[in-house]
Each structure stands twice: as C-alpha cells, then as structure tokens.
Structure 1
Amino acid sequence: ETKVYFAHPYSSWERGSNERANGLLRRLISKGKRIDGYQEDDIFFATEWANNLPRKCLGYKSPNEYFDEYLDRIYAA
C-alpha cells in the first residue's frame, strides 16, 4: 500500500516543495558557485535558517517545529 510518486525530468511544477527548498538555499548560496567553496559553518547556517523558516504548507510552522511535534505524537502513542 505504499504510494510512489514520479516526477518527469525538466518538470519543476511536479515537485514544488523541492523547488521551493532549492530557491531558499539559493538566497544564501549563489547558483553556479561550487558548494565546496563554502565553509562547514556556512552550510550549517544555511540549513538551520531554512529549517527554522515557517512554511505555509506546514500551517505556518517551521520544518523543525513540525518534526518535533510529529515525534512527540509518535512517542506519546
């Protein structure tokens, strides 16, 4: 009963959440620049910033908040 979704190549509208995440990271890491030119602290800052940014699709909660609430529900069961 596992659902599998397939996105066609060059069809960015089929994977909106992924494209949104890429866009957020592009605010801090310019397109075309090699990621190995950044320090580990820079990458950590970018991921922390993106994961703490509230999202409309998550009811205006950040991914970190949503994940923590989900874990709380799992452990409460």
Structure 2
Amino acid sequence: MSDTQLTQQQRYRIYAPGKGNHGQREIADIIGCHPGTISRELRRNRGMKGYRPRQAHGLAIARRQDKARPRINGSV
C-alpha cells in the first residue's frame, strides 16, 4: 500500500470490479491500496451516472492544479 495518488489505470481498475459484486475491500486488495482510498475516490467522483474513471481522473487533475495555485497576491 502506498501513499501516492491514484493513476488513471487504477481508476479503471476501480471501475471494472465495481460493475460486479465486489466490495470496496476487495477492490482495494486488487489495486493494492487502503479501503478508505476506494471509499473516498467513489464518494468524490460518483456522479448521476455512477463512477466514471475518465471523468474521475480529470476531476482529480483539476483539483491538484487548483491546489497548486498560489493564494496570496505578490503585492501584499
């Protein structure tokens, strides 16, 4: 289990077992991450049509870029 961010490939791996009868713990074992990671990923990125890995990855990248932007103006 690593403390890295999920890759697009891992998001597709969350999606595939999610279509079956796999629980979040089983999906976490398949991917090799903590079950809480799966829970947060699904909660953050589940839309009206369910979990979509391509959309989830795009949202994650957008959140990462927003986080990297400086919040304080240089003239202060």
Bigger strand share: 2
TM-score normalised by L of structure 2: 0.29
Higher relative contact order (CA 8 A, sep 6+): 2
